[in-house]
Amino acid sequence: MSVRIRYAPSPTGLQHIGGVRTALFEYLAAKAGKGVFYLRIEDTDQARSSAESINDLYETLRWLGITWDEGPDIGGPYGPYIQSERFEIYQQHARRLIEEGKAYYCYCSEARLNDLRSLQEKNKQSIGYDRHCRYLSREEREKAEEVLAKEGRKPVIRFALPENDSERIVIEDVLLGEVKRKVKDINPDPVIIKSDGFPTYHLAHAIDDTLMKTTHVIRGQEWLPSAPLHVLLFKALGYQAPVYVHLPMVMGKDGQKLSKRHGDTAVRDFRKAGYLPEAIVNYISQVGWSYDDKREFFTLKELEECFSMEKLNKAPGVFDYKKLDWYNGHYIRQKSEGELKTLIMPYLIDHALVADPPSAQEERIIAAMIPLVQPRLKVLSDVPGLVRFLFQDVPVTDPALLVPKNCTMTDVIPWLQKGRDLLAAGSQSSVEELEQEFEKAAQAMDTKTGNLMMPLRVSITGSTMSPPLFESVKLMGIGEALRRVDRSIELVKQSL
Ligand code: GLU
Ligand code: ZN
């Protein structure tokens, strides 16, 4: 039997990097198993679900190259693939469970449940729901129904856990092996249909994973505590439980669950910041999985071939933003100049550095600057900051910025003057010749080449970090460069 594996997000927010890692592992497990990867949208929490989240889901997966074989948008043999359209299916199953004595209506009011909770808290008990409605007589039930009808309330449906508290439950998990629990580990009589008629996740997924023929439920480890209930639900429905793969969580470097505090978490924000899909896919595949502890680079295609669930780690994965930057830099350097140009164009336009479409002069600068920035980029959004000076003149206003560490304003004037003269004299020289001239001059002035270069770089580019200076000067034109240096010399002199 070939595998069928799904990604089943609740559309209640933007796709999180941790969720997408789950989706990637599911996709890869399906591909490696020559099976089907399908998408199911779990929107039974109607109040929290949104169309925006659904769009974000589609866009994010498409952008990453994670394609699905069946799903809400393309259909498939076991649809509908969106839970809100399966309302009747859940109702039928719940009715069947009630008829078979495996589930029952609970009429308890919020107030009663709250009282119960406070009482237990006071007595330091944690029994949970007291199964009040499980053993009602026929008359009591009819009375309760009348009361609810008057109040305009609908009962919930609860699952009747086995009476034998010490009954054993075994969860088959590829990563964790056989996880053994007892009925008493489950909070008694969980709600399976809410008062709005929608099922809870527990019931809905058990039904859907059966009807949609899921072979492996791969999901976050936060679901492990509910797994015993799920196994019982499958059994009560007369279905066979799937094999589980509970994935270790994704943590920040401090060992806490990855969250906004650590940095971006929505994939959409990584995309905006200029991460490439190849880098994200490659990096997150390594958070909790490794091929052989050595190999680090994988394309999605390669992962599809060599992924195996057995090689997933049991320990939590640590999300390292620096490592992601490193992968991103790697993939940026793999791009051809043409590809990189297409990728950075939106950033140049958004920052109003060039017109849309760029003028011929701007096109010339863009084409020439690409090889200068390509080795230096971590993310695409670094581009505007690095190259702004090529398109705009942003004067230095604070003379202190022109002074290297441990040097003074007075030191800087001869350095700037010398740099200016060398640039002017060397306007026809090659970059190598200019470098030699600067080294010689620094020696003669008994200082480091860096001290000669730094004030010059800041004067011309506005920053201590820039693409290679001599190439940049050639690009922007020597006249403009000299004008900016002269302005800096004036600024320093005035501040003395
Ligand atoms: N809708 C659940 C969630 O988003 C799915 C968990 C699962 O994969 O079964 O957490
Ligand atoms: Zn009740």
pLDDT digits (tens, 9 = 90+) for 270-321: 999 999 999 999 999 999 999 998 999 999 999 999 999 999 999 999 999 9
| Ligand approaching nearest to the C-alpha of 49 | 1
| Confidence label for 267 from pLDDT (cuts 50, 70 and 90) | very high
pLDDT of residue 223 exceeding 80, the answer is yes
Residues 120 and 138 in one domain: yes
Rg (CA), the chain: 32
Which amino acid type is present at position 332?
Answer: I
Kindly give the number of the ligand 1 atom that is closest to the alpha carbon of 22: 8
Residues 14 and 40 in one domain: yes
Check if 294 is active-site.
no
Residues 97 and 145 in one domain: yes
| Closest Cα to atom 8 of ligand 1 | 219
Burial class (CB in 10 A: 0-12, 13-18, 19+), 35: middle
The reply to whether 137 falls in a domain is yes
Residue 347, domain CATH = 1.10.8.70
Residues 378 and 406 in one domain: no
Mean pLDDT of 484-495: 96
CB 234 within 8 A of CB 241: yes
| Closest Cα to atom 3 of ligand 1 | 9
CB 314 within 8 A of CB 176: yes
Pocket test for ligand 1, best of 81, 205, 221, 244 (most atoms within 8 A of CB): 205
The reply to whether 223 falls in a domain is no
Residues 408 and 467 in one domain: yes
The reply to whether 225 falls in a domain is no
End residue of a domain, out of 289, 304, 334: 334
The reply to whether 374 falls in a domain is yes
Task: Tell me the CA–centroid distance for residue 166 and ligand 2, in Å.
Answer: 23
3-class secondary-structure state, position 168: strand
| Confidence label for 403 from pLDDT (cuts 50, 70 and 90) | very high
| Confidence label for 126 from pLDDT (cuts 50, 70 and 90) | confident
Q: Which residues contact 258 (CB under 8 A, 6 or more apart)?
A: 17, 18, 249, 250, 251, 252, 265, 319
pTM given for the model: 0.93
End residue of a domain, out of 149, 170, 193: 193
Please name every residue paired with 257 in a beta bridge, in sequence order, or none if there are none.
251
The reply to whether 198 falls in a domain is no
Task: Tell me the CA–centroid distance for residue 8 and ligand 1, in Å.
Answer: 5
Domains in the chain, number = 4
The reply to whether 449 falls in a domain is yes
Residues 54 and 101 in one domain: no
| Confidence label for 181 from pLDDT (cuts 50, 70 and 90) | very high
Which amino acid type is present at position 19?
Answer: G
| Closest Cα to atom 10 of ligand 1 | 9
Per annotation, catalytic residue among 260, 294, 301, 405: 260
The pair of structure tokens assigned to 39 is: 């998408």
End residue of a domain, out of 147, 170, 193: 193
Domain hosting residue 65, numbered range: 1-72+248-334
The percentage of the chain sitting over the pLDDT mark of 90, rounded to a whole number, equals 97
The reply to whether 460 falls in a domain is yes
Cα atoms in the Cβ-side hemisphere of radius 13 Å centred on 337? 8
The reply to whether 222 falls in a domain is no
Residues 409 and 466 in one domain: yes
Reading phi first (left if > 0) and then psi (alpha if -120 to 50, else beta), residue 319 is in beta
pLDDT of residue 1 exceeding 80, the answer is no
Average pLDDT, the chain: 96
Residues 66 and 109 in one domain: no
Protein residues with CB under 6 Å of any ligand 1 atom: 8-10, 42, 201, 205, 217, 219, 223
Residue 104, domain CATH = 3.90.800.10
Residue 464, domain CATH = 1.10.10.350
The pair of structure tokens assigned to 356 is: 């849309």
